[in-house]
Structure 1
Amino acid sequence: MTAVLLIEDDDRIRLSLSMALEDEGYTAYTSATAEEGLADYRRRPADTVLVDLMLPGMDGFECIRQLRRETEVPIIVISARDDTHDIVAALEAGADDYVVKPVAVKELAARLRALRRRARVAAAAATAPVDTAPVATVLTFGDLQVSPDAGEVRLNGDPVKVTRTEFRLLCELAAHPGLVLSRQQLLQRVWGYEFGDERVVDVHVGRLRHKIEVDNREPRHLVTVRGLGYKLQP
């Protein structure tokens, strides 16, 4: 059974959400503070961690950073703070997703399943036997090169450090050069969600632009098509 650790200081939310997750088939562990949550995770690692941002003592941002130093476990933020700056800060800290309270349990369960699927696919790819050395595919967009098989991004020949989610997003756009993909399409194809907050896509696009554009205010590669979505310019 999949185990979820919920770090939430509000007693009512902690109890109701843990019971709802149990009803969805998860084993739910709970902690009231970040310090307790970190200790609980080290003692009994969960498959996914849910973290509130407004915690007493150590806040959720630092809790995420500390978890990321130790593990690649999927992390979902659950917070009443819906400002884009908070979403950006949480994702920068290392969170994989962000859900705004009040939480719809069915939606949260769908996101948990999607995160686990992504983790299983990544683990399977990393451990799959290779009989022969494949020829890596390189997708070129001017001075930008994306190598899906090799897991590499280069700009002017220099390696660009991107997160796993940023890489998946870039590969999805690179696989459809010049084609506009909507935010909802990207949520489905990269995150595996049928629905969700489209700002998660915007935040990752913004982060990618800082890494692959000479001037992210006037992007040449990752272009916004107003009202439609994003495309990678061939």
Structure 2
Amino acid sequence: MNKPFILVVEDDTPIRKLITTTLETQGYRYQSASTGESAIMEASTRQPDLMILDLGLPDMDGVEIIRKIRTWSTLPIIVVSARSEDRDKIDALDAGADDFLTKPFSVEELLARLRVSLRRLQYDRDRPHMDSSVFVNGQLRIDYAAGCVWLQDEEVHLTPSEYKLLCLLAKHVGKVLTHNYILHEIWGNHPYDTPALRVFMATLRKKIELPGHPKLIQTHIGIGYRMLAEQ
């Protein structure tokens, strides 16, 4: 079975070399691009499994690239950028990026983020062959048809808002969802804010995360939340 094919979009030669060498040592196939125009062309013609994208390209802002690609593809996109402000991360994630890694970074963290996104990709590819009315992630099981949630074969009683939150995170397992995205998807124009979302998320976690087990929901401080895919 072929290793995933990764498109690396980075105009800084030393960083591009670091990323591609790391991918090569791990057995990944890859192609590189140094401009936004070439990135979009490579993404459309080579159909990579995942893109690693720098935001500060010479001809086009990375957020614009994400928006363009999202008009025709669900290609997983990991942003690797020197921009460290929460606003930059939120803009990229709201545009459709799956994850955001700030420079400087360790190759170990890059590979970990890569594995998370590839697990989500594999899950999405396998889902049509699974019972679409049931979601399973480790000890967690959601029966969408029945509107029930189970943890280690015991039913978990959730409020309507907690259930909606859980289903939204499950739908995008492995992907960081911003506070604004979650608030809009769950409550629309209702005047809930980020502090209220934190309260709902805290009560949800108490019900679905087992003591001594890995956390299912990961917090990205100032940005949002992600459901982790369990092995």
Query: Which interval holds the TM-score relative to the shorter structure?
Result: 0.5 to 0.7
> Equivalences for 1:10-25 in 2 at 5 Å?
10-25=12-27
TM-score for both structures, normalised by structure 1: 0.67
CA distance 1:136–1:23, shift in 2 (3 Å): same
Q: Look up the match of 1:96.
A: 98
Q: Look up the match of 1:207.
A: 181
How many Å separate the matches in 2 of 1:107 and 1:143?
33
Q: Look up the match of 1:105.
A: 107
Say whether the 8 Å CA contact 1:144–1:212 is kept in structure 2.
no
Amino acid at match of 1:224: V
Q: Look up the match of 2:136.
A: none
Q: Look up the match of 1:231.
A: 203
Task: Pick the aligned partner of 2:37 from 11, 35, 38.
Answer: 35
Say whether the 8 Å CA contact 1:138–1:147 is kept in structure 2.
no
Offset of residue 120 of structure 1: 1.3
Offset of residue 126 of structure 1: 2.0
> Equivalences for 1:152-191 in 2 at 5 Å?
166-168=168-170, 190-191=173-174
How many Å separate the matches in 1 of 2:82 and 2:178?
21
Q: How many residues align?
A: 184
Offset of residue 12 of structure 1: 1.5
Deviations 1:146-205 (A, max 9, x none): 397xx7xxxxxxxxxxxxxx43289xxxxxxxxxxxxxxxxxxx539xxxxxxx5xx623
Task: Pick the aligned partner of 2:193 from 208, 217, 232.
Answer: 217
Offset of residue 210 of structure 1: 3.4
Percent of aligned positions that are identical: 32
CA distance 1:138–1:58, shift in 2 (3 Å): same
How many Å separate the matches in 2 of 1:147 and 1:98?
22
Partner-residue secondary structure (3-state), 2:58: coil
Offset of residue 62 of structure 1: 0.7
Say whether the 8 Å CA contact 2:77–2:98 is kept in structure 1.
yes
Say whether the 8 Å CA contact 1:138–1:146 is kept in structure 2.
no
Q: Look up the match of 2:220.
A: none
How many Å separate the matches in 1 of 2:11 and 2:194?
42
Amino acid at match of 2:76: P
Deviations 1:44-83 (A, max 9, x none): 1111101111111111001111111121111000001010
CA distance 1:224–1:142, shift in 2 (3 Å): closer
Say whether the 8 Å CA contact 2:161–2:186 is kept in structure 1.
no
Say whether the 8 Å CA contact 2:78–2:99 is kept in structure 1.
yes
Quote the RMSD (CA, aligned, Å): 3.2
Structure 1: 5+ residue stretches without partners = 152-165, 171-189, 193-199
Task: Pick the aligned partner of 1:138 from 141, 147, 150.
Answer: 147
CA distance 1:207–1:18, shift in 2 (3 Å): same
Amino acid at match of 1:16: L
Deviating more after overlay: 119-128 vs 59-68: 119-128
Offset of residue 36 of structure 1: 0.5
How many Å separate the matches in 2 of 1:20 and 1:39?
24
Structure 2: 5+ residue stretches without partners = 133-142, 149-157, 208-231
How many Å separate the matches in 1 of 2:42 and 2:8?
10
Offset of residue 122 of structure 1: 2.2
CA distance 1:142–1:127, shift in 2 (3 Å): closer
Q: Look up the match of 1:85.
A: 87
Q: Look up the match of 1:178.
A: none
CA distance 1:59–1:20, shift in 2 (3 Å): same
TM-score for both structures, normalised by structure 2: 0.68
How many Å separate the matches in 1 of 2:5 and 2:170?
25
